[in-house]
Amino acid sequence: MKLVKIIGSVTSTIKDLSLQGFKLLLVQAVDTDLKDKHEFFIAVDTVGLGEGEIGLIVTGSTAKRTEITRHKNIDAAIIAKVERIDLENYNLES
């Protein structure tokens, strides 16, 4: 999994039927110190994150295995809200 920050969302009315009803989040990869990386994903949210919050993204075939995304044609999903990062040298409350 990778650390990402929610930075926005995408609106799509014409889309694969399996995506109906899902919010499509725009997320940005972040470093372990939460600094932005220049890498973006569109992901389905399974835990209810708001803008600016930190989460974990799974990519690939795993993204369509959660209770909420089963059989949905996606390759990226947010599966956890990150509340705290503990590193040897410092801790971050996100």
Q: Which residues bind a copy of itself (CB under 8 A)?
A: 1-3, 7-19, 24, 26, 31-32, 40-43, 46-48, 51-52, 56, 58-67, 71, 73-76, 79-88
- State the minimum distance, in angstroms, from the CB of residue 45 to a copy of itself: 11
Query: Residue 64 and residue 94: Cα distance in Å, rounded?
Result: 27
DSSP string, 18-32: GGTT--EEEEEEE-T
- State the minimum distance, in angstroms, from the CB of residue 88 to a copy of itself: 6
Task: Select 21 or 80, whichever has its Cβ closest to a copy of itself.
Answer: 80
Q: Which three-class secondary structure state does DSSP give residue 33?
A: coil
- State the minimum distance, in angstroms, from the CB of residue 64 to a copy of itself: 7
Query: Residue 60 and residue 51: Cα distance in Å, rounded?
Result: 23
Of 47, 72, 63, 57, nearest in space to 26 by CA: 57
